[in-house]
Amino acid sequence: MNFTDYLFFPVFAAVIIVYFVVPQKKRWIVLLAASIVFFLTWSLEMFPFALFAAFVAWIAARKIEKRYEALNAYTKKQKKAVTKKQTDLTQETKKKCRHILWIAAAVILFMLIYSKIQYVMADIPVLSGIVALLSDLYCTVSRFFEKIPILSYFASDTAAQEGGQFSFLVPLGISYYTLSLVGYLADVYWRKERAERNFGKLLLYALYFPKILEGPIAKHRNIAQQLNEGGNFDYTRLCHGLQRMLWGYFKKLVIADRISLLVTEVYGNYTEYFGTVLFVATVAGAVQLYCDFSGCMDIALGISEVFGIELEENFRRPFFSESAAEFWRRWHITMGVWFKDYIYMPLAVSPKLIRAAGTVKKRAGKRAGKNFMTIVPLAVVWFLTGLWHGTGMNYIVWGIYWGALIILSSVLEPELKKLTKLLHINTESSGYRRFRCIRTFLLFCVSRVITIPGNLHATAEIFRRILFHFSPWEFFDGTLYTIGLDRPDFLLALLTLFILYLVGKKQEQGIAIRQKVDSLFLVWRWLIYLAAIFAVLIFGIYGAGYDASAFVYMNY
Amino acid sequence: MNCKILIRMTSFIFLFTLLFIAANSFMLPNWNDWDNSDRLNGFYKEPENKIEVLMIGSSVIANSMIPMELYEKYGICSYNLGTAQQPVMVSYYWLLEAYKRHPKTLKTVIMDASIIRYEPPLEYYRGAVDSMKFSQLKYQAVTDYTVNGGFQKTMSYFVPLFSYHSRWKSLGKEDFYEKYDKTANIKKGYQFEVDRYYDEDDYDRLPVPLYYADRDAETEELNSEGLEYLKKIADFCQEKGLKFILIKTPVLIQWNVSEHNAVQSVADTYGIDFLDFNFAPLCDEIEYNGAMDSADGLHMNYYGAQKITEWIGNYLVTECGVSDVRKNEDYHYLDSQLEQFHTDVTDIMRLQEITDPAEYLAEASVLPDCTVFVTVNDEAANSMTEEQREKFAALGLPLLSKLEFRDSYLAVVDRGEVIYEMSGHEKASVHESEEEPEQTEPAKELTESIAWQNTLDNGIFCSLESAGYYQGNTASCRIDGIEYAQEERGLQCVVYNNRTNRVVHTAYFDTHLFSEREPWDLRSALRDAIDSDQNYMELPDDQLKLYLYNRRCDNARFAAQLRQDADHEEFLSFLQAYQEKEDTAVFLAVKGDASGLLDEEAKEMLRQYGLLEYAEMEDGASYVAVIENGKAVLERSGGEQRPIFHNGGYYMLQSGGKGTEDCGYISINGIKYTASEGIQIVIYDMVSKTVQNRALLGQDAVFEMLEL
């Protein structure tokens, strides 16, 4: 079951009712139950692992905290000035906690890493045996789960098992909740927050169903309290949540899935198309990804809002960004924050790196030392970000591409400033800013070309075709209506994109659309709601994809 | 949560539900292509406990069984529930649905056997099941089909919007009006077809029937799901005491002996009667002619349907004991429907058969509820007779009666009343002016086409246009956006039925060349011509084509009979059989060593034909011969190692005796017939210019007939 299943809606409605009927203190149990059911219907096989990962995180966090508590108790007893023994003990505790952290994080991350590299491993003779063994092992575990009567109901669903071999092909938010749990552990270790005592509550944090599919990667300390306390019923918030979901469905079903017909057609057969079409498909592919992902986020945040739980925003109109760095602050925000908090910051403040920077500074000058401190953590972060998105060579190139863009723009900042001055460019003018927006967008499009086709050879071929086989007449001769989308669909896609742009622009100006709608007269408001609902129902790309025109009188 | 919010939420949900239901009904496709919706929705309009005979199955049954004619001639109350490629599973559920509504009267079920062979695509399933009313039965039908499909799939059957929302692009006016014909059950599910297969191809390209089934031929694998549900249907019929008949209507394509055998053996196992009209003796009993009785080789037109319906009616009365309800007062509603049926079907067929344009207009304009649109393309006046012009004037069309060379013309006759008439004469300056004939009401002189447009009572928009040769040379009749005028010269007529909101007939008369068009039912015309001993060479083209096609069929039938008859599995009797046939040519060509293959009796017979060389032939010599109408016209033989080649115009013969690399063929009209070693015989019809039969007297004097 996912957010676009028909069954999701009655289930969701039932969960809302039960949630608000149950006393506030017990509401988290409703969410936990709903989350578990949601997870099971999605993937029965992954459930044992999720349970296991949460369990490890729970135990480890408790252990870390206990050690700190013991240390605190000891320090309080001493009352005196710091003794050598005390310092040693502190060091000892920290070391032990770090060990726990590393072991737990390794166990939790193992699945994530393994799921990413198992296909690479399976190709290596020595390791293929291990892959097979783990698959068998996991199969046995999940078979056991299937035998439990209630769980077996879900077993027939879209199970990711082919020919008895368990496959990690569908990660089911594996990266999202594993990252969340590792972040939680690190925060407990840094003593930014206290460990969760109740395993059920931690499990709810890990599996909370609005965010399990595609994030956002919420921080435990940001949502735990809301989750545990349970929201109170608020009609306006309920409406806002539903509105946000509707907007999400519109983006996902009407815009993204429609455009994706064109993108898959063109990228699937890129050798048959030339410059214009490929260019259009590339731009469309960029917009499609945005609408798909951010639409899904709108749905997730909307669902959560209905329950009175505020998740973090994952997108802030990234296509209005003026630079690559800004783009990544507005695109998939929570992932960026995770990498910043748990990879970049520890690296940037790590004594080893600072020492190394000192050496560089001594040998190559002040600026080099400063650049070293900028480049190394960023390079690591972007390399890992690339790997996080996928393990193919093209994802590594993708990571290097973004890393290089961001590093260069920060390293070369002084030179670039000089250049703009030399060319008498008014950096404050709206024209220049628009240029920067478009430039950032195109840079993003380039990154899409690196990843969509699946291999770098195809990427090179597509770039070659876009640049050297440009065929502008295809804009006008109706070719665009023949690739995946017919004329009405194409025009509808353009119209909906225009609506998207208008909404984005208003939001950029700081206008809260939902509050604007709230202030309208009831009739208009309802008209807007109904129009939006039916726009999704009618223009959405969903269902059997049945083509009525196929029903023509043929033979018989 | 206070009261106000609750009311607000409830009313919003209520409003949404209303719109949702409306959207569902708009999005549900019409399936009008094939009157599908009419047939299935119309079924629910039948009063309960009336129907005695039910037809189910694919489209071939829908246009072969005419329930209203069964009523008219035999008093049988029946309904035809055939839909395009109806899966057997759906047939089963429609049978259950029909039984639910007519449990007391339903006695006989007739099902088409075609669809048991394969699994039809999804859309045919939907087309047949979407119109079923919501009930436990429909739910069962859907879940049976979508087994393992889960909630998602099942829902899409009950909420059309989920499946058909992508139709938003093609929504038309008709989607917002009533979805089907208000009087849908008049035809009782019969699918009316007028077209002839005859028009599709040349006489020598149209396929010929099979005539005889070969019991020993292999059997085809049938569709397992189809068989499963066939069994269910058979069991259900047995349980409820219904007579179940499986039929296969006559076709020229997509049916063969192995498929027949497969169905026959299944029918035998399940104990079902199987009537296959493709093979003797049934094919003779209905006197079916594929070219004239079929619309496309597969589906019957009205002529074919009439024949098979009559046969079935007779069968139902004599074999199944179906009752005659004409005297029963409960069934009197059928009498008034019968009148409408005549308007919808019989009268339209009569229009199709009319050859005279004046008579056509007279007949069409008196059809109830009908509007006739007349327009002229290019030229229509040249061959009009005085008599016709008088008739036009009598109909209230004075301008048509005075139509001149290359005039444009438009007329609209609405339910017998002329509501518009206009003609346009080319400007005198354009054409060399002649002496102006005296007219009371001269046609307007125009340089451009004339046009008319209007909205009909039911809100449907129609437009007419006509242009004579000098004014644009075109004609158009658009109704609800669809063009009905054909790209043909002359008088174009379109008949529109205001009750069913459909165009029911279109016709054109090339009154530039001929005062009347060719008759539609060529058979009677041909019969008359042959009865009056007319030479076939003098027949009009249309009739000649049918004559030649019939001749081909006769030849095929003759060959099939020979094949059937074991006696003719011999060289001598084979030749003798064709000796009696007129206009027959026999070609003989030897390949390899064939000198010792014939016995004395056969040699004697060849001698009678005038073939003298064969008897004296050397061992392994090459040999060719042609016999026309029982007389030798060519005979050549050559010695060993000396191949012969003869070019006889439409045929070429080659023979190579022993040691000449076994060359030897008979080529007729560019088609080369080769066989293995021995004497190859090709029988050729000199009238239809087609090969009738082939045979080979092979090694060790084994005689066999070859496939064409």
Q: Using one digit for the tens of pLDDT, what is the confidence trace for B233-253?
A: 999 999 999 999 999 999 998
pLDDT band at B424 (very low <50, low <70, confident <90, very high): confident
Residue A138 has pLDDT above 80, yes or no: no
Are residue A298 and residue A330 in the same domain, yes or no? no
Mean pLDDT of B183-201: 87
Q: Confidence class of residue A552 from pLDDT cuts 50, 70 and 90?
A: very low
Is A54 found in the same domain as A171?
Answer: yes
**A553 domain residue, yes or no:** no
Count of CB atoms within 10 A of residue B75's CB? Answer: 19
Q: Is B429 in CB contact (< 8 Å) with chain A? A: no
Q: Which of A249-263, B233-247, B356-370, B567-581 has the lowest mean pLDDT?
A: B567-581
Highest mean pLDDT among B266-280, B628-642, B650-664: B266-280
- pLDDT tens profile B313-344: 999 999 988 989 999 999 999 998 999 899 88
3-state secondary structure B164-220: HHHHHHHCCHHHHCCCCCCCHHHCCCCCCCCCCHHHHCCCCCCCCCCECCCCCCCCC
Confidence at residue B428, expressed as pLDDT on a 0 to 100 scale:
52
Question: What CA–CA distance (Å, rounded) separates A306 from A246?
Answer: 12
State which of A453, A486, A502 marks the end of a domain: A453
Q: What are B4-49's pLDDT values in tens digits?
A: 888 988 999 999 999 999 998 888 876 666 677 788 888 998 999 9
Amino acid, res. A115: S
Q: How does the average pLDDT of chain B come out, rounded?
A: 87
Distance of alpha carbon B389 from alpha carbon A159, whole angstroms: 79
**With an 8 Å Cβ cutoff, is A468 touching chain B?**
no
pLDDT of residue B384: 92
CA distance A542 to chain B (A): 8
Cβ of B15 within 8 Å of Cβ of A7? The answer is: no
Per-residue pLDDT of A436-466, as tens digits, reads 999 999 999 999 898 888 788 889 999 998 8
Q: Is position A547 within any domain?
A: no
Beta-strand ranges (E) seen in A116-254 are 161-162, 165-166
Q: Crossing angle, helix A456-468 and helix A430-451, to 10 degrees?
A: 140
Which of A30-44, A120-134, B165-179 is most confident? A30-44
Are the Cβ atoms of B170 and A549 closer than 8 angstroms? Answer: yes
- Interface membership of B85 toward A (CB under 8 Å): yes
pLDDT at A148 > cutoff 70: no
Is residue A440 situated within a structural domain? yes
pLDDT confidence bin for B229, thresholds 50/70/90:
very high
Interface contact flag, A530 B19, Cβ < 8 Å: yes
**Nearest-by-CA chain A residue for B156:** A543
Shortest alpha-carbon distance between residue B276 and chain A (Å): 17
> How confident is the model over B551-560, as pLDDT tens digits?
999 999 999 8
pLDDT given at position A549? 40
Could you tell me which of B130, B59, B197, B112 has the C-alpha nearest to residue A553? B59
The size of the A-B interface in CB pairs under 8 A is 95
| Neighbour-count burial for A421-436, b at 16+ CB within 10 Å, e otherwise | eeeeeeeeeeeeeeeb
Mutate to test the interface with B, among A19, A257, A541, A555 (most CBs of B within 10 A): A555
In a shared domain, residues A28 and A165: yes
- Number of DSSP helices (H) and strands (E) in chain B, helices first: 24, 25
What tens digit of pLDDT does each residue of A180-198 get? 999 999 999 888 888 899 9
In this structure, are A397 and A329 located in the same domain? yes
Q: For chain A, say whether B471 makes contact (Cβ under 8 Å).
A: no
Q: Residue B5: list chain A partners with CB under 8 A.
A: 235
Residues A88 and A39 in one domain: yes
Task: Give the tokens for residue A527.
Answer: 């008209």
Mean pLDDT of A125-140: 70
Count CB neighbours of B218 within 10 A. 9
- pLDDT for B184 equals 61
pLDDT, position A151: 56
Q: Is the pLDDT of residue B108 over 80?
A: yes
Instruction: Looking at the structure, tell me whether residues A444 and A535 fall in a common domain.
Output: no
Nearest Cβ partner for A538 among B23, B120, B150: B23
Residue A96: what pLDDT? 86
Does A317 map to a domain? Answer: no
Residue given tokens 């056991």 in the structure block = A144
- In a domain, residue A367? The reply is yes
Sequence-ordered list of residues with C-beta below 8 angstroms from that of A435, at least 6 positions apart, any chain: none
Contact A546/B164, CB-based, under 8 Å? yes
Which positions in chain B touch A541 (Cβ < 8 Å)?
A: 166
Tell me which residue range forms the domain holding A501.
Answer: 236-311+478-539
Q: What is the DSSP letter of B697?
A: E
Nearest by CB to A547, from B148, B162, B166: name it.
B166
B173 backbone φψ class: left, alpha, beta (φ>0; ψ -120 to 50): alpha
Q: Which among A1, A2, A496, A556 is the top mutation candidate for probing chain B, defined by the most B β-carbons within 10 Å of its own β-carbon?
A: A556
pLDDT of residue A545 exceeding 70, the answer is no
**Residues of chain B numbered 228-287 and touching chain A (CB < 8 Å):** 254
Contact B360, B493 (CB under 8 A): yes
Predicted pLDDT at A378: 92
Q: At what angle do helices A275-306 and A430-451 cross, to 10 degrees?
A: 100
Q: What would the pLDDT profile of A271-297 be if each residue is shown by its tens digit? A: 888 888 899 999 999 999 999 989 999
Q: Does residue A547 belong to the interface with chain B, where contact is any CB pair within 8 Å?
A: yes
- A431 in the same domain as A359: yes
pLDDT at B530 over 50: yes
Q: Which residue in A197, A131, A160, A125 sits closest to A45, CA to CA?
A: A160
* Out of A5, A233, A556, closest to residue B58 by CB: A556
Q: Which residue has the higher pLDDT, A247 or A476?
A: A247
| Any A CB within 8 A of B460 CB | no
At residue B658, the pLDDT reads 77
Closest CA to B331 of B133, B63, B102: B102
Domain count, chain A: 3
pLDDT of residue A547: 46
B-chain CB neighbours of A258 within 8 Å are none
Mean pLDDT, range B413-437, rounded to an integer: 69
pLDDT of residue A162: 39
- Kindly state the DSSP code that residue A470 receives in the 8-state scheme: -
B156 touches chain A (CB under 8 A): yes
Residues A483 and A351 in one domain: no
Confidence (pLDDT) at B430:
41
Please tell me the predicted confidence (pLDDT) of residue A69.
87
Give how far the C-alpha of residue B72 lies from the chain's centroid of Cα atoms, to the nearest Å. 23
CA distances from B318 to B112, B267, B321 (A): 21, 21, 6
Between A377 and A453, residue with greater pLDDT? A377
Statement to judge: residues A181 and A56 lie in one domain: yes
Which of A192, A223, A254 is the last residue in one of the domains?
A: A223
Q: What secondary structure, in 3-state letters, does B129-144 show? A: HCCCCCCHHHHHHHHH
Q: Is A232 exposed, middle or buried (0-12, 13-18, 19+ CB in 10 A)?
A: exposed
Please check whether residue A430 touches B, CB under 8 A: no
In DSSP terms, which residues pair with B474 in a beta bridge?
B467
Cβ A538–B165 below 8 Å, yes or no? yes
Range 204-233 of A in CB contact (< 8 A) with B: 233
User: Does A153 contact B at CB distance below 8 Å?
Assistant: no
Residue of B644, B385, B367 lying closest to B505 (CA atoms): B367
pLDDT score at A163: 38
- A130 and A246 fall within a common domain: no
pLDDT of residue B122 exceeding 90: no
The predicted structure's pLDDT at residue A150 = 57
| B155 close contact with A: CB closer than 8 A | yes
Pick from A486, A547, A556: which is nearest to B85 by CB? A556
Q: For residue A338, is pLDDT > 50? A: yes
**Residues 480-499 (A) with a CB less than 8 A from some CB of B:** 486, 488-489
Q: What is the mean pLDDT of residues A147-166?
A: 48
- The pLDDT assigned to B640 comes to 67
pLDDT-derived band of residue B95, with 50, 70 and 90 as boundaries? Answer: very high
The answer to whether position A448 is within a domain reads yes
Indicate whether A205 and A241 sit together in one domain.
no
A301 shares a domain with A378: no
B298/A555 CB distance under 8 A = yes
Provide the shortest C-alpha distance from residue B128 to chain A (in Å). Answer: 11
Confidence of residue A341 (pLDDT cuts 50, 70, 90): very high
Tell me the C-alpha to C-alpha distance, in Å, between residue A203 and each of A32, A58, A368, A425, B208.
8, 9, 46, 54, 75
Average pLDDT over chain A reads 84
pLDDT of residue A553: 35
